[in-house]
């Protein structure tokens, strides 16, 4: 089940990027679960990874390899996270890189491994040994949609998006795919995301652009408050479009690119929430006040509250749960002026001046809570800073999915 989201069916290729998928049988039967992505010589890649202290073996290896050289290939598997697997897990992640490197004539450091799935199980390396040559033989430019499907775990739809923007009278393309449905929370959201563009961008600006985009997208979503051991988001620039190198962050060309990247990552991030495990509601929480940091904390507290999320699932206009979440948000004592607090849901004014709005009617609240998409607008004081968080409801199905995930 997803909220207003369907399988991606078409994504444009990026010159310099090739992909291949196969059914390796890592955990799933009769579906592709292994992806090889290659990028042309001269490409640059930016990388943002999980902040979970127990980060998985592929996260550790990818970080080390990315720091030493520019990657030329990514190997991505679904169904097995290779996390909590100790030295054997690290050895297996290194071996995955070596298998790809031998097939493509690269060094192992030019290969980045990515895994997603069950924690605490060793990779079935014989499946990788058998499958990597197959992947090499299938490499082609139009593999984005197939890759989006192959990296799914509990996702119900394949997620992908593209944008095109005119820079220096040339058409620049950005294409991205993501997987994520549960264990969704900053930093940096619990997902795998792969984005590529044909724009030429200086490496330091590419990293800056990705970090900025992630802060306004994948670090603004939450489903269940859990951050995975395996999160990663990459952005590769192949530089094949014939425009001047984007090497200044104050240039109009770079600003156009950053705006497009922000839009793409926000669309992908919202698609993760729309496909959240068991979700029946898509919810945007907007909080305004004097300090952005306080607004973000209040928005996250509302979005994470199990009582708020279950009320949303039930369609119960129990707005007191939202008010209580605002009041317990871990911010300084003067960050919230209770006499100025207001709550508006889908344009229905519920709380005004810290108490129930005089003209509020339960039937109006019921109508708002019955909708599959809700916008919760909150004011905490007279400031004009705005923080936004996207979240979902919490349903019986979420419990069922996660209770049965390893079975």
What's 78's domain CATH number?
Answer: 3.60.70.12
- pLDDT band at residue 52 using 50, 70 and 90 as cut-offs: confident
The question of whether 190 is a catalytic residue gets the answer: yes
**What residues make up the domain containing 60?**
17-274
State the pLDDT at residue 378: 98
Q: Give mean pLDDT, residues 270-296.
A: 96
Q: What confidence category does residue 184 fall into, taking pLDDT thresholds of 50, 70 and 90?
A: confident
For residues 403 and 92, the model is more confident at 92
Q: Quote the percentage of the chain above a pLDDT of 90.
A: 89
Q: Which long-range contacts (CB under 8 A, 24 or more apart) does 136-140 make?
A: 136/20, 136/36, 136/103, 136/104, 137/20, 138/20, 138/21, 138/22, 139/18, 139/19, 139/20, 139/36, 139/38, 140/18, 140/19, 140/20
Are residues 168 and 255 part of one domain? yes
- Marked catalytic residue, from 190, 229, 265, 301: 190
pLDDT of 140 reads 97
Same domain, 245 and 289: no
Residue 374, domain CATH? 3.10.20.340
Are residues 153 and 35 located together in one domain of the fold?
yes
| Domain boundary, last residue among 254, 274, 294 | 274
Q: Tell me, what DSSP letter sits at residue 108?
A: G
Please name the residue that has the structure tokens 């419990």: 399
Indicate whether 401 pLDDT > 60.
yes
When pLDDT is cut at 50, 70 and 90, the band that residue 402 belongs to is confident
User: Taking residues 189-204, what's their average pLDDT?
Assistant: 91
389 in a domain, yes or no?
yes
Same domain? 261 vs 295: no
The residue out of 206, 239, 274 marking a domain boundary is 274
The per-residue pLDDT of the chain, averaged, comes to 95
How confident is residue 407, by pLDDT bands cut at 50, 70 and 90? low
pLDDT band for 207, please (50, 70, 90 cuts).
very high
How many domains in the chain? 2
């Amino acid at each position: 089940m997803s909220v207003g989201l369907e399988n991606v069916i078409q994504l444009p290729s990026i010159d310099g990027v090739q992909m291949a998928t196969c059914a390796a049988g890592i955990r799933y039967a009769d579906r592709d679960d292994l992806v090889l992505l290659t990028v042309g010589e001269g490409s640059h890649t930016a990388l943002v990874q999980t902040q979970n202290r127990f980060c998985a073996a592929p996260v550790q290896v990818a970080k080390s390899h990315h720091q030493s050289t520019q990657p030329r290939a990514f190997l991505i598997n679904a169904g097995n996270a290779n996390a909590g697997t100790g030295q054997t897990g690290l050895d297996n992640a290194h071996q995955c890189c070596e298998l790809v490197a031998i097939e493509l004539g690269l060094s192992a450091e030019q290969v980045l491994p990515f895994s997603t799935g069950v924690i605490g199980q060793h990779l079935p390396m014989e499946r990788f040994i058998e499958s990597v040559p197959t992947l090499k033989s299938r490499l082609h430019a139009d593999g984005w949609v197939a890759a989006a499907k192959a990296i799914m775990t509990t996702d119900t739809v394949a997620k992908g998006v593209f944008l095109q923007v005119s820079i220096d009278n040339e058409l620049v393309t950005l294409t991205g795919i993501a997987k994520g449905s549960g264990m969704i929370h900053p930093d940096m959201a619990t997902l795998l995301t792969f984005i590529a563009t044909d724009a030429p961008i200086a490496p330091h600006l590419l990293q800056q652009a990705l970090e900025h985009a992630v802060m306004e997208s994948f670090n603004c979503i939450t489903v269940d408050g859990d951050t995975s051991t395996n999160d990663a988001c990459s952005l590769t620039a192949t530089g094949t479009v014939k425009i001047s190198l984007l090497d200044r962050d104050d240039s109009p060309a770079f600003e156009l690119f950053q705006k497009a990247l922000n839009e793409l990552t926000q669309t992908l991030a919202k698609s993760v929430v729309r496909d959240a495990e068991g979700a029946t509601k898509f919810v945007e929480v907007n909080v305004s006040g004097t300090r952005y940091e306080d607004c973000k904390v209040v928005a996250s507290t509302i979005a994470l509250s199990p009582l708020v999320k279950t009320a949303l699932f039930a369609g119960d206009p129990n707005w007191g749960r939202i008010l209580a979440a605002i009041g317990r948000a871990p911010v300084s004592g003067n960050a919230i002026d209770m006499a100025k607090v207001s709550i508006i849901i889908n344009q229905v004014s519920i709380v005004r001046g810290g108490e129930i709005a005089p003209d509020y009617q339960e039937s109006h609240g019921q109508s708002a809570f019955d909708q599959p998409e809700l916008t919760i607008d909150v004011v905490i004081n007279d400031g004009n800073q705005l923080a936004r968080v996207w979240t979902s409801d919490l349903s019986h199905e979420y419990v069922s999915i996660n209770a049965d995930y390893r079975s």
